[in-house]
Amino acid sequence: MSAATLTTDAALSPADSRIPLRAHLRHTGALVRRNLLWIRQDPESMFDALLFPIVFTLLFVYVFGGSIGQALGGGQEAYVQYVVPGLMAMMGMTMAQGVGTGFNQDFNSGVMDRFRSLPIGRGSVLFAKIAVELLRMLFATTVLMVVGVLVGFDITNWPGLIASVGLSVLFGSALMWIFLTLGVTMKNAQSVQAMGFLVLMPLQFGSSIFAPTESMPGWLETFTGYNPLSNLADAARGLMTGGPVAHDLWMVLGWSVVLTAVMAPIAVHKFRTKH
């Protein structure tokens, strides 16, 4: 993608408010194409999206499946039905962390300085980054479901599966605004990774993703009740394998709207003003 491609569609002023919506969409599409071409030239950048769902599915099913499955009352087969929807919820947060580190690396390499020198909408750069990361997330989710089926996951509700994927994509996109903000504000990719690790660990393991929460200490069980990853995992289980969904569904939708409404303007502002 050349600078001329973007400049042709841009308004005379680089300010977002002076660029019409149609031009914003064209800029976003051109940047999405640029990012996809970069992935095509560097296929190793897809290794995390490919290997993460394989490694984690096999690890949790065959290492913890027997013991936790017994607690669920059905052995390893029951645990497969439990953990696969949970891993789908985990996928969004893991992919979101990647968008922050990649964004930070683009800044340090000078790519973002070039984009900001062009008369394009600043939000277009961020939306394109999120769009490509969501495509990577859908790829990772597809790999997860294939591996899940191979180890015994039974898809009994296809509309529920599609709804679960949509819910995970919605929540994942909301999380990406947080990590884009970190990518802009932190000095290097290692700092973004470290901060992401501090956020990821308590949210992932203090949730119902990997195991039921009933046996947890009272204070931790209370935390899991407010943890959006627990809500997302439980909503995905209800949609895919049956069970109550309304409360968890509304909680996930609420978290997604609030995080996007708060963090998206901050991310765009930080991107505009970063020196």
Tokens of 69: 């499955």
68 versus 58: the higher-pLDDT residue is 58
- Would the pLDDT of 142 be above 60? yes
Q: Where are the domains of the chain?
A: 16-273
Q: What is the pLDDT of residue 17?
A: 52
The answer, yes or no, to whether residue 10 has pLDDT greater than 50, is no
Higher-confidence residue: 118 or 63? Answer: 63
Mean pLDDT score of the chain, rounded to an integer?
A: 84
Report the C-alpha gap between 165 and 158 in whole angstroms. Answer: 11
Mean pLDDT lowest among 73-77, 130-134, 208-212, 260-264:
73-77
Predicted local distance difference test score (pLDDT) of residue 249: 93
Residue located via tokens 């580190």: 101
HEC per residue, 30-97: HHHHHHHHHHHHCHHHHHHHHHHHHHHHHHHHHHHHHHHHHHHCCHHHHHHHHHHHHHHHHHHHHHHH
Question: What are 106-116's pLDDT values in tens digits?
Answer: 777 777 667 66
As a whole number of angstroms, the distance between CA 208 and CA 224 comes to: 7
pLDDT tens-digit map of 229-256 = 999 999 999 999 888 899 999 999 999 9
Task: Assess contact for 236 and 86: CB atoms under 8 A.
Answer: yes
pLDDT at position 12 is 35
Query: Model confidence over 205-219: pLDDT tens digits?
Result: 889 899 888 888 888
pLDDT class of 189 with cuts at 50, 70, 90 = confident
Predicted TM-score (pTM) of the model is: 0.85
Q: Which two tokens stand for residue 234?
A: 């439980």
For residue 118, the model assigns a pLDDT of: 67
Q: Rounded to whole angstroms, what are the CA distances from 18 to 31, 125, 127, 197, 264?
A: 19, 16, 18, 39, 19
The proportion of the chain whose per-residue pLDDT surpasses 90, expressed as a percent, equals 36
For residue 3, name the pLDDT band (cuts at 50, 70, 90): very low
For residue 204, pLDDT over 50 is answered with: yes
**Number of CB atoms found within 10 A of residue 188's CB:** 13
pLDDT over 70 at 1, yes or no:
no
**Whole-angstrom distance, CA of residue 270 vs CA of residue 257:** 20
pLDDT of residue 149: 94
Exposure class string for 119-140: b at 16+ Cβ within 10 A, else e: bbbbbbbbbbbbbbbbbbbbeb
